[in-house]
Each structure stands twice: as structure tokens, then as C-alpha cells.
Amino acid sequence: MYDFTPMVEGINRWLHSMMPDAAATFAGWVLVALVYLALFAVMGLVLVLVERKVAAFFQLRLGPNRVGPWGLLQTAADAIKLLLKEPVGTKRADMFLYNLAPFLLIIGAMMALSVIPFAPGLQAFDINIGVFFIAAVSSVGVLGVLIAGWASNNKYSLLGAMRSGAQIISYELSMSLAILTMVLLAGSLQVSQIIEQQRDYWFIFKGHVPAWIAFMIFVIAGTAETNRTPFDLPEAESELGAGFHTEYSGMKFAFFFLSEFVNMFIISAVAVILFFGGWMPLHLDGWTGFNQVMDFIPPIFWFLIKMSVMLFLLMWFRWTFPRLRIDQLLKLEWKYLLPMNLVNLLLMAFIVLMGWHL
């Protein structure tokens, strides 16, 4: 009922009727790219504002409240300021890599974003290795942090980069294993198929206890992957200045800042897709009336509601937990999460083998 496929196809037909095939295809690509670019910018602005409001809520403050009604235009004003700001860099940095690093991060984030479905038919790239593609692409983005820290020629940046390397390589393991646990349940890597399988029940219900454990591990590892508190050692402002992006200013700094929020969005989206059925409405067995009422809410709202809950959870973590020390961080991953994850994977395999997930 709320399928976006006819709309997308309509635009496609319209493009093809206006110009030759090759040009139409190209125009389609450009259109998709523009839509994602706009989405990227809007997402950054909104999430930064929400983060500041949530922070204010947790600290019993009002948060931004001067620019626009309830401070809604604050981040837009900040963005304009950052755009107009003079880029101040260091003289003895490795200029090529220094300029390249923010783009590596942004490109990684954008590519991962392309796989995420917002509603039926609203997905740029339904590749058959979906979730694996997200994991692979975001592992390339890590290099942006490493290179930024090194190329800045600043010891705090370098320390931040090293911490980030140790942290992200460790937590990538947990994240991939948590994803793998759910892929075991789905039997497919393609995002559209994973969502389709959750039509009657979301995976968090289907997978029983292993799915809950996988969800918790995924959220912890995801927070670590996005360098957010309690895992913000790479940029720990109280000890390293700002870590790997100390030497960046103006728009380049904004890129790092934006990519953090986009990565947060991606982590939440993957969690929603894998555990809470993506844009699928909540269905309960036997409650026909309830199910039909749920079907009336458009999938895009389902997706946005679930995303808001996930994003709020991540922000809640940030303003609640103190930062971990680097040895505690590595201990948590290698001594607790990884063994738990491996056992959990076996448990899930057992459940799937016995057919208890149906």
C-alpha cells in the first residue's frame, strides 16, 4: 500500500521519455547522488541538533534555544559558519594525506548509506551481499581516521589515531560476528530479503536469547566503531585535545563531525534492519485486528520511529557512561565480548538447526 516502487519507476520512465537511454541512466545516477547528498547534509544537521538537545535534557539544561524557534536553526547557522571559516592547517603536515583523510571517511559512510532501505522501494543499491557490504565499506573508512592522525604531524593526533586503530580493529570483530549471528538466522545477506523474512516476526523475537545477546553486543561494538563515548578514546578531548582531528578546521573538521553522525545513523539502521525488521510493522501472531492497525502506519514512519529509538539509545549511552581506559576497552572486547559472541554464534546455529526460530 505504501510502496515507493511505482514512484521510483515513474521517475525513471519520465527520464527515459525525455532523453536517450544512456543519458537517462546517467541522469538517474546523478539524481540518486543528489538525493543522498541532500539526505547526508540534512541528517547531519538534524542529528547534531538532536544530540545537543538530548545532552541538554540529560544535564537539566535547555540546550540551543536562541537561533530560530526553540533553537531549531542553530546547527544550520553552525554549518554556515563552518563553511565560511578560513581553513587553518599545519605547515609541516603531509598535505596530500591531510586533505585526503576526511574524504575517505565520508566516502565510506556514503557508500554504506546507499545500501540502507528507508521504505519499500526506497533503496539505492540492493546488492546481494548487503550487510557484508556495509561492514566491508565501513572498515575502509577507518583508514581515514588513521591517516588523519598521522598526516597531521601532531603527537596528540598520532596517539588518537593509534588508539582508534586498536579500538576499531578489535570491535570490528565483535560487530561482524554479531551480524553473522543474525545472518545465520536470515540465511541471506541481501538487505531486502532480511527484511522480508521478518514479515511475521522481527528477528529479535524469532531469534530468542541469542538474538538479544547479539543485539547487545552489536550496540556496544557499534558505539565503539563510531568512536562515541564511552569509547571515545581516539578523540578524548580532556587528554588528547581532539585526537585525530585536532589539526583540522572549517569544513574539513565538519566532515569528521558529520561522518561520526552518519556512522551513528548507519549503525542504528543496521541494528534496526537486523533485529527490528527494518521498515516492517510490528506484527503479533493471532492479533489480526492489531496487525491491520499496525499496517496502516506507513513503513517509512516505522523505520523512522525505530531509528529514533536506536539513536536515542546511543545518545543516552554517550551522556551516561564515563570514558573507558584503553586497557579496559581492549579487555572488554577480547576477554568478554569475543568469547561470548563465539558461544552465541554456536547457540544461534543450534537454534536454526533445530528449527526453533520458525
Partner 1 sequence: MGERLLFYLLAGLMVLFSVLAVSTTRVIRAAVYLLFVMILMAGFYFMMGYNFLAGVQLMVYSGGIAVLIVIAVLLVHHIEHRVERLSAFEYLWKGAVVLAGMVLTLVSLRQFSFRRLEGAEHATVADVGERLLATGRGGYILPFEVISVLLLAVMVAAIVIAKGESENARNHD
Q: Is 27 in the site for partner 1 (CB under 8 A)?
A: no
CB of 210 to partner 1, least distance (A): 18
Q: In this structure, how many other beta carbons lie within 10 angstroms of the beta carbon of residue 70?
A: 14
CB of 110 to partner 1, least distance (A): 14
> Which residue among 2, 4, 132, 212 contacts partner 1 (CB under 8 A)?
132
Residue from 98, 88, 87, 96 nearest 144 by CA:
98
Q: Rounded distance, CA 346 to CA 29, Å?
A: 42
Largest interatomic CA distance in the chain:
68
> Which residue among 31, 83, 88, 169 contacts partner 1 (CB under 8 A)?
169
Residue span binding partner 1 (CB under 8 A) among the ranges 58-66, 88-96, 282-290, 337-345: 88-96
* Nearest residue (CB) to partner 1, 51 versus 225: 225
Give the list of residues 6+ apart from residue 309 with CB closer than 8 angstroms, or none.
Answer: none
Cell numbers at 24, concatenated: 537517462
Which amino acid is present at 80? I
* Nearest residue (CB) to partner 1, 15 versus 140: 140
Q: Is 99 in the site for partner 1 (CB under 8 A)?
A: no
* Nearest residue (CB) to partner 1, 163 versus 206: 163
Site string for partner 1, 268-307 (x = CB under 8 A): ----------------------------------------
Q: Are 144 and 108 in contact (CB under 8 A)?
A: yes
Residue from 329, 357, 347 nearest 174 by CA:
329
Interaction residues for partner 1, span 183-202 (CB under 8 A): 183, 187-189
Instruction: Give 116's DSSP letter.
Output: -
Which DSSP string corresponds to 262-323? HHHHHHHHHHHHHHS-TTPPP--TT-HHHHHHHHHS-HHHHHHHHHHHHHHHHHHHHTTSPP
Residue span binding partner 1 (CB under 8 A) among the ranges 121-129, 219-227, 230-238, 245-253: 121-129
* Nearest residue (CB) to partner 1, 96 versus 287: 96
Q: Which residues bind partner 1 (CB under 8 A)?
A: 22, 92-94, 96-97, 100, 127-129, 132-133, 135-137, 139-140, 142-143, 146-147, 149-151, 153, 158, 161-162, 165, 169, 172, 183, 187-189
